[in-house]
Amino acid sequence: MAPTSEFTVLLPAAVVALMVMTLQLSAAAAAAATAPPRPPVIGQPGCDTLCGNVSVPYPFGFGPSSRCYWPGLNLTCDRRHNPPRLLLGDSALRVTDISLRNATVRVMRAGSIVNATGDSSGSWNAPFGPGFTENGYQLSYSNEIVVSGCNVVARILADIREKTPRIIGGCASFCTIIDREDGPLTLDTTRETKNKYCTGTGGCCQASVSASGTPNAVEAKWLYSGNHTAEQHLQPAIVFIAEEGWVDKNGLLDDELEEVPIVLEWSVTQGLSHWNNCHDDMRQRVLCKSEQSRCSSDSPGRFTCQCEDGYDGNPYLLGGCQDIDECELPSEENGCFGDCINTIGSMECRCPHGTFGNPGIRGGCVKINSTTGLIIGLSVASGAALLPMVLGIIFVRRKIKQRRVKALKQKYFKQNRGQLLQQLLSQKADIAERMIIPVDELAKATNNFDKAREIGGGGHGTVYKGILSDLHVVAIKKSKITVQKEIDEFINEVAILSQINHKNVVKLFGCCLETEVPLLVYEFISNGTLYHHLHVEGPRSLSWRHRLRIATEIASSLAYLHSTVLNPIIHRDIKSSNILLDDKLMAKVSDFGTSRYIPMDNEGLTTRIQGTRGYMDPMCFHTGRLTEKSDVYSFGVLLVELLTRKKPFSYLSTEGDRLAAHFVNLLAKGNVIEIIDPQVIEEGGEEIQEVAALASSCVNVRSEERPTMRQVEHILEGLWGSKKYKKDDTNLEKFQKQAEGQRNEESSRRYSLEQEMMMSSTFPR
């Protein structure tokens, strides 16, 4: 009804009712011609989708053909039983239900995790048990831990390899031991159940799983160490996991072999190498094949698919998400108390013929009587005279709205220093046309900044993927915070990137200044960051050859920023997450929001502390003086990160040292091999020791003793150009000549745009 909203203000209500009834009839006619729903799509063609009485939807499957299931989600149909049993992978866990909508699997587990008899010691550490932890399944919140025994406490642990394991569930069971002179010890098992079977007293307790996760172990112990003989003889300690509510309904286990239901959360964790998020439409269709589906990820490396609102079915198959007929639901659920008309992906609700009003509430549709009909007739007659007036009012309102939008754009353009940019580009119409991009163009490119187009975010804004009218695929950065500091950093990034022309620095296409905060438009780099390629799960990551080449490319770009451009630039935030990699794994330095020009006296400048923990120059941190040697330090930490595959911002040695300091200490003692990535040791050679020495010199606490980035570049290019790599890369000689030619050309070239940019620094801002 949005197209008629402007008329409803002025036309009589009866006229609106007549128009509504007309639309109802046409919608009903269209719905009558709708094709009947197709049968649900469950599995891949030619694959079994039933084991016993359990339906098995793709991406789950079983059988010898791997195309019937997604890697890691294979099941086993044990036909030795009648009916056959569906098992989780190769485990003994029996699957009873699989939900695609909730991303859960309900399994039955026989026996307890801990069963301590009278001969047991005071405490136990038991593995959670085989069956699902090795395949990436997680315990759902819909479970609870149950402990039976006298004065026993138990807890479920995850991440047991960390210094502080994570607790995802636990409870304590208490009971009173009755000691009579005329009889044996007995237990007082009286418990006030209330709404729970076990309340913590009377010999058992139950508590909900407090966090979703993959459990590794169960710890349990008697609370009174050294005095638990009576407890363990009178009532063994038993610990198990059960679906929430099962114990309240069935009581405690009477038979150790009895099956107990557990609800597991599942997700796709294999076969999606280098996936960082779900925002890439092309990648999403690899997993979520239905057109009416979307991908979601609640934690890194774990992905699921869901059908869009108004659809249900299997999002992992072509045509798997099908329209839901909301009209088959009760009125209380679909919210329609009139005539319900199903549409593709939604529904329409209209008042029945001969009535008008609000069909969304019970009794909201009122019958039209003879008096109402007379009013309708008079209103229709007068409506013809009112129509030109209504159209005129609508036209005027639209004109006023357009002027307001235009005035607001001009206000933001001026606030974001657009006039300065226009002055800089006034004599270069071709550059101005490319650099200044209207907001309407970016809104169209991103589907009005749809959340599904988000591909990342950082301290300075949210990044969207878009396609411009000239078919360039771009990344658009939009500030999150509308404060002057953020605007200044955006303008700073425009000023810096406008004068940079280097193949290892991300290219700036232009900017938009017609919004409350400026928008920056970059070339789209499709292969993620160096951080995500380096820090993957498993023993192997980027090859040493790739790491050395990437380090050389980063050093080349920093040397260019420090010594080749007309006004040298300090990047100020060099780290692996700010290094983008293209499809050929070529490095692209990004994020210049905190960068600064190097003063002409080359003695540094005083600035507030900014950077990333672990990468930050300690000399700059203590003195507040920023020089190009601060970038050298950050690059040295990055070299250590490439050598060790350790994360500088989170690493702490046993002595409490950060990664760089610990690396230097080990190198000085001749024990640096202890921290080097085994893959680097296997693939590298003598140059590993040279790179380690170079990294150590870059992270020297005394900044004056660090090399320059030009010196670092020459050392790395010498290593990269060694005979070993000439054998591997037939194009290496050509690459070196091109690089040398580019440096000579960049050293001699002085862009007039750069000159104008610097001259403009005296203009009022």
- Residues serving a catalytic function are 573
Instruction: State the Cα–Cα distance between residues 178 and 521, nearest whole angstrom.
Output: 77
C-alpha closest to that of 708 among 599, 637, 635, 609 = 635
Q: Are 478 and 519 in contact (CB under 8 A)?
A: yes
Q: Are 347 and 326 in contact (CB under 8 A)?
A: yes
Question: Is the Cα dihedral 409, 415, 419, 424 positive or negative?
Answer: negative
CA distances from residue 304 to 30, 70, 102, 294, 708 in whole angstroms, order as listed: 35, 12, 10, 9, 47
Backbone angles phi, psi at 519, to 5 degrees: -115, 135
How many other C-beta atoms lie within 10 A of the C-beta of residue 539?
Answer: 9
Q: Which residue has the tokens 């600035």?
A: 607
Question: Is the Cα dihedral 419, 424, 430, 432 positive or negative?
Answer: negative
DSSP per-residue letters across 318-336: TT-EEE--GGGS-HHHH--
Instruction: State the Cα–Cα distance between residues 476 and 521, nearest whole angstrom.
Output: 5
Q: Using only C-alpha atoms, what is the Rg of the chain?
A: 34
Hey, what are 608's tokens? 């507030």
DSSP state, 677?
-
C-alpha closest to that of 462 among 444, 450, 445 = 450
DSSP per-residue letters across 2-24: GGGTTTTTTS-HHHHHHHHHHHH
In 3-state terms, what secondary structure has residue 188? strand
In 3-state terms, what secondary structure has residue 257? coil
In 3-state terms, what secondary structure has residue 350? strand
* Beta-carbon contacts of residue 505 (< 8 Å; ≥ 6 apart): 497, 557, 560, 561, 588, 589, 590
Backbone angles phi, psi at 734, to 5 degrees: -65, -40
CA distances from residue 445 to 438, 439, 454, 522 in whole angstroms, order as listed: 11, 10, 12, 13
* Beta-carbon contacts of residue 2 (< 8 Å; ≥ 6 apart): none
Q: Which residue has the tokens 């569930």?
A: 169
Hey, what are 572's tokens? 């100020």
Q: Are 140 and 263 in contact (CB under 8 A)?
A: yes
Instruction: State the Cα–Cα distance between residues 521 and 441, nearest whole angstrom.
Output: 11
Instruction: State the Cα–Cα distance between residues 155 and 217, nearest whole angstrom.
Output: 9
E strand residue ranges, 257-387: 259-265, 293-299, 302-307, 311-313, 321-323, 339-343, 346-350, 355-357, 365-367
* Beta-carbon contacts of residue 42 (< 8 Å; ≥ 6 apart): 49, 55, 56, 57, 58, 314, 317
DSSP state, 484?
H
In 3-state terms, what secondary structure has residue 108? strand
